[in-house]
Amino acid sequence: MLEKDTLRKADIFSGGLIFLFGLFVVYQALQMPMKDTYGGVQNVWYVSPAIFPLFIGAIIALLGIALTAIALKSVGLRQLGAVLGYLASAELVAFLKQPATIRFYAIMLVFSSFIFIMLPRIDFFPATVFFLMVFISMFYFDDDQLLFKIMLFFIAVTILLIIFFATGLEALLADSMNFPGDWLMLLCIAAFAIYAWQLVKDQAELRRKYRTCLLLAVIAPFTVGIIFKFLLLVPMPFEGAVVELLDTIWYYDY
């Protein structure tokens, strides 16, 4: 376990990050309307949807300041230079290359790509299947080398998706086919299934985990998605080819 002084030095840095995150939440909340008119009725500011995130963001920022202040009081201002020196040292570089840190990169990468790139543009079902296939296999295989290889594969897919949507290729293909992003995602699922199988085919235990991974990645989104879409009538973030097929089956008039 790290010594208290070491933890306090780390708190100087983490407190600053927490403070900046709180400011980011406040900034985003301020983009929401504080007042608006609905049906000729003027809403007052205290019923605005921005109030809750503003409150949460302000509290987070204050807690970040408090954490930094406590840390500085504990170790003294002289140690601030030591903290800044560590951020420019080879020790930080070594820390960033540790397996535990790479796992953190993997988590942030997969969730960020899923939330900001896939869900807004690709049908919920194939996007979630691919996300779960990658995420479960990264950690369920329990092998740092496999995790790194899978992460590189996911980075390549993420770059491909960014190029596909940012260059307008998706809009161009949409003139001749429905939901081209969904078909690309299905190809990525097939490619990853083949790639992951090549990584684990020589080890019986990993083959068993691979089958479990595929099973969970397919069953979980379809179970949850169908419940929300057709029983609770909650629309999916993006409804594409798979949702259209499920709509046809669910509402088929016998």
Boundary of a domain, candidates 91, 124, 143: 91
Same domain assignment for residues 77 and 118: no
pLDDT over threshold 60, residue 40: no
> Whole-model pTM?
0.73
Number of domains in the chain: 2
Report the DSSP beta bridge partners of residue 38.
41
Same domain, yes or no: 138 and 233: yes
Indicate whether 103 and 220 sit together in one domain: yes
120 and 146 belong to one structural domain: yes
76 and 191 in a single domain? The answer is no
Provide the 8-state DSSP code for 47. Answer: G
Name which residue leads in pLDDT, 175 or 79.
Answer: 175
Do residues 140 and 229 share a domain? Answer: yes
Clarify whether residues 163 and 232 are in a common domain.
yes
Tokens coding 24:
């980011």
pLDDT above 50 (res 5): yes
Mean residue pLDDT of the chain comes to 85
In three-state secondary structure terms, 221 is: helix
Asked if 238 contacts 122 with a C-beta cutoff of 8 angstroms, the reply is yes
**pLDDT value of residue 3:** 54
The whole-number pLDDT of residue 108 equals 87
pLDDT at residue 37 is higher than 60: no
* Statement to judge: residues 126 and 80 lie in one domain: no
pLDDT of residue 142: 87
Domain that holds residue 53: 4-91
Summarised one tens digit per residue, pLDDT across range 202-227 is 999 999 999 999 999 999 999 999 99
Give mean pLDDT, residues 219-243.
91
Average pLDDT over residues 77-94: 67
Cβ count within 10 A of residue 143: 18
Largest CA distance in the chain: 78
pLDDT, tens digit, 9 for 90 and up, residues 15-24: 888 899 889 8
Q: What percent of the chain has pLDDT over 70?
A: 81
Burial category of 105 from C-beta neighbours within 10 Å (exposed 0-12, middle 13-18, buried 19 and up): middle
User: Residue 41 in 3-state DSSP?
Assistant: strand
Q: Indicate if 122 and 74 belong to the same structural domain.
A: no
Point out the domain boundary residue: 91, 116, 133. Answer: 91
205 and 153 part of one domain: yes
243 and 118 within one domain: yes
Mark out the alpha helices in the chain (DSSP H runs): 4-29, 51-75, 78-87, 90-96, 99-113, 124-140, 144-166, 169-174, 180-200, 204-226, 241-250
Range 116-128 average pLDDT: 94
What pLDDT, on a 0 to 100 scale, did the predictor assign at position 94?
Answer: 73
Contact call for residues 118 and 126 (beta carbons, < 8 A): no
Question: Looking at 64-68, 71-75, 151-155, which range is the least confident one?
Answer: 71-75
| Same domain, residue pair 108 and 226 | yes
User: Given 91, 122, 142, which residue is the final one in a domain?
Assistant: 91
C-alpha to C-alpha distances, 197 to 74, 133, 147, 192, 218, nearest whole angstrom: 52, 12, 14, 8, 16
